[in-house]
């Protein structure tokens, strides 16, 4: 059976390379790269998150307790991610360099850990739990949201 989460992991690789760029942009305080990174998160990562929140997580939710299981945990981490991104955006608008660096670094750390949990724990679990019918529905759900990271080589 073809792994249905592979596409999300490939998108994660693109996000991870953007995080390395973000870290460099924080070191040199490159406003242009910081704004470009925020644009990438607004456009591409929003679509990636939708694939997880609207397609994969609902398919998995029957297998886990709604408030304490791994899906609830990943959803809460998505909320934290959006909060950090808002803080970074506001700090950048105000030209508050200290806050830009603090929130930028929080995003880098938070997302590296979050992606590792999804890739190493949640996705392997999903591959064991999902049945044929669910996989077909997930694949078409992903397709209807679309390719969000052209660098991810969707094949």
Q: Which residues bind Fe ion (CB under 5 A)?
A: 118
Question: Minimal distance in Å, beta carbon 41 to Fe ion?
Answer: 12
**Between the CA of residue 110 and those of 11, 12, 53, 63, 145, what are the distances in Å?**
17, 13, 18, 26, 25
**Is 123 in contact with 9 (CB distance < 8 Å)?**
yes
- Give whichever of 101 and 106 is closer to Fe ion, judged by the CB atom: 106
**Is 26 in contact with 101 (CB distance < 8 Å)?**
yes
The closest residue (CB) to Fe ion is 118
- Give whichever of 25 and 57 is closer to Fe ion, judged by the CB atom: 57
Length of the chain as a residue count: 155
- Give whichever of 87 and 118 is closer to Fe ion, judged by the CB atom: 118
Question: Minimal distance in Å, beta carbon 52 to Fe ion?
Answer: 5
């Amino acid at each position: 059976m073809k792994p249905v989460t592979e596409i999300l992991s490939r998108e994660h690789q693109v996000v991870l390379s953007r995080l390395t760029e973000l870290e460099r942009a924080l070191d040199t305080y490159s406003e242009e790269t910081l704004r470009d990174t925020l644009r990438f998160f607004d456009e591409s990562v929003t679509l990636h998150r939708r694939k997880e929140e609207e397609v994969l997580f609902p398919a998995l939710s029957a297998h886990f307790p709604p408030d304490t299981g791994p899906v609830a945990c990943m959803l809460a981490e998505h909320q934290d991610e959006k909060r950090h991104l808002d803080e970074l955006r506001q700090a950048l608008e105000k030209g508050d360099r200290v806050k830009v660096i603090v929130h930028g670094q929080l995003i880098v750390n938070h997302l590296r850990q979050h992606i590792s949990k999804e890739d190493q724990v949640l996705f392997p679990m999903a591959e064991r739990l999902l049945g044929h019918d669910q996989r077909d529905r997930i694949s078409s759900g992903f397709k209807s949201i679309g390719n969000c990271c052209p660098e991810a080589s969707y094949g």
